[in-house]
Amino acid sequence: MSVKPTRNRYLQDGSRAAELHNTAREVLPGGNTRQSVWTSPRPTYAVAGNGCRVTDADGDTRVDFVNNYTSLIHGHGNQQIAAAVREQLSEGTAFGLPTPWEIELASLLVDRVETIQQVRFTNSGSEAVMMAVKVARAFTGRSRIAKFEGCYHGAYDPVEVSQAPDPSNWGPPEEPTPLPFYPGHPGVSDVTVLPFNDLENSVRLIERDADTLAAVVVDPLPQRAGLMPAEPEFLQGLRDITKKHGIVLIFDEVMSFRLAPGGVQSLLGGSPDLTAIAKIIGGGFPVGAVGGRADILDFFNPSKKGPKLPHAGTFNGNPVTMIAGLTAMQMMSDEEYQRLARLGDRVRDEGNALFERSGANWQINGLSNMFRLHPNSRELRNYRDAWRDEDETRRAGAMYHALMARGVMLTPDGMGNISTAMDDSVVDELLAALGDAVNEVDS
Ligand SMILES: Cc1ncc(COP(=O)(O)O)c(C=O)c1O
């Protein structure tokens, strides 16, 4: 298959993107209001999406493997979701009352996920993780949490600890140093930082702090840390040790819930007490949810006698999000999950075969319908393995621009995911672009 160049007009002086970015820099810090969409020297600005393609402000169209960071499982402008939302828009977008649709979406999640007995809605993945941690604290009467080095769980202080360490400060691999994420970051010493996929040392550190630990938070497929799957015996080991000490095991499936009808836990195991979900369950609108054990979530129950955790939120369970999410989730049959996973397998298998044939120092990892491109070929089991030095960072940046110029959009750090708007021909486009780009980047 031949590659269609897009010319990357957004990078040219005098482009519409340059004009927009100049104005943006006056009113938004650095011209940006969302770190993850920042690219140097400027981002491309989206003006329209259609299925699996996005058109930018300079008129270039690319295949979108970002899908708003995994949230758009049906791609852009899905007509069924749009019709359902349009109908609700004229009936009212939010009320100071519950609506029937929050019950329907909660019921769907309870039906599909074995460990979810009840659900509490929020407006983002960050809030979902935050409320999961808070309710774990209320349930255990303890306040400390443990999380894994280099893993991203949104913008809540305790889970931001050691989010982006580097070799100059990360400490010994068997006991990562808890590090602040920003100047003034509070409560860093109240967080135990664990090494991912290292059960022996994780168990040792959890046992050390067991009396004060409310929760262990783990993403079984942590994208920012490198998208390496948690090993099933590692997840089972975390389940066993947390159970032994009455610590709440929280899975962050904000992204990885998209991998299977029962979430990533149905693929890798681990049986969490609570699961934070978001992204795809909002059908393209802002959303979050905590699901899990009814006895823990009962701390949110306003009629509960005794200690409880009051939780408000102006847009929790708003009908637009609930209807969009319900429509999106109802459209996801088992067969469709399998089809997307098969396309993801093709990206990994054929992409890696292509690199091997050409001797390129690249690899693609991930699971099911999520994948990530790495500028190296070493074994990746944790954040430290995937950490990029200066040269790898430069090559990854060059690859992003080279793929953009060939009409393919991944995230700047190389993550992609498959939507239902994609088929084999789109995977062919990606593979052709990769084969071509790798020659340019490493020549
Ligand atoms: C694993 C994980 N947790 C939490 C979050 C935060 O979700 P949100 O951006 O909806 O606040 C994200 C966002 O990408 C995520 O990937």
Summarised one tens digit per residue, pLDDT across range 150-192 is 999 999 999 999 999 999 999 999 999 999 999 999 999 999 9
Checking if the pLDDT of 419 tops 90, the result is: yes
Find the 278 Cα to ligand 1 centroid distance in Å.
Answer: 8
Find the 337 Cα to ligand 1 centroid distance in Å.
Answer: 21
pLDDT digits (tens, 9 = 90+) for 281-325: 999 999 999 999 999 999 999 999 998 999 999 999 999 999 999
Distance (Å, whole) CA 50 – CA 59: 14
Strands (E), 169-222: 191-194, 213-218
278 Cα nearest atom in ligand 1: 10
Checking if the pLDDT of 2 tops 80, the result is: no
Q: Which two tokens stand for residue 347?
A: 């990206």
Q: What is residue 1's predicted lDDT score, i.e. its pLDDT? A: 64
Q: What integer is the mean pLDDT of 426-436?
A: 97
DSSP H or E stretch at residue 397: helix 390-405
3-state DSSP percent of the chain in helix, strand and coil, to 5: 45, 15, 40
Distance (Å, whole) CA 124 – CA 386: 27
In this structure, CATH architecture of domain 79-330: 3-Layer(aba) Sandwich (3.40)
154 pocket-lining for ligand 1 (C-beta < 6 Å): yes
DSSP 369: T
Find the 153 Cα to ligand 1 centroid distance in Å.
Answer: 6
288 Cα nearest atom in ligand 1: 10
Bridging pattern class, strands 408-409 and 61-64 = parallel
Q: What is residue 6's predicted lDDT score, i.e. its pLDDT? A: 72
Q: What integer is the mean pLDDT of 216-243?
A: 98
Partners of 198 in the β-ladder: none
Domain borders along the chain are: 9-73+335-442, 79-330
Q: Which two tokens stand for residue 233?
A: 């015996």
From residue 307, alpha-carbon distances to 131, 145, 389 in Å are 16, 20, 49
Q: Which of 153, 285, 287 to mutate to test the pocket of ligand 1 (most atoms within 8 A of CB)?
A: 153
405: left (phi over 0), alpha (psi -120 to 50) or beta: alpha
DSSP H or E stretch at residue 336: helix 334-358
- Give me the count of residues in the chain: 443
pLDDT digits (tens, 9 = 90+) for 99-146: 999 999 999 999 999 999 999 999 999 999 999 999 999 999 999 999
Checking if the pLDDT of 350 tops 70, the result is: yes
Q: Which of 66, 147, 152, 258 to mutate to test the pocket of ligand 1 (most atoms within 8 A of CB)?
A: 152
Find the 14 Cα to ligand 1 centroid distance in Å.
Answer: 35
Q: What is the radius of gyration, based on Cα positions, of the chain?
A: 22
Per cent of the chain over pLDDT 90 is: 98
Q: Which two tokens stand for residue 383?
A: 């954040």
125 pocket-lining for ligand 1 (C-beta < 6 Å): yes
Q: What is 9-73+335-442's CATH number, 3.30.830.10, 3.90.650.10, 3.40.50.720, 3.90.1150.10?
A: 3.90.1150.10
Q: What is residue 178's predicted lDDT score, i.e. its pLDDT? A: 98
pLDDT band at 257 (very low <50, low <70, confident <90, very high): very high
Q: What is residue 4's predicted lDDT score, i.e. its pLDDT? A: 64
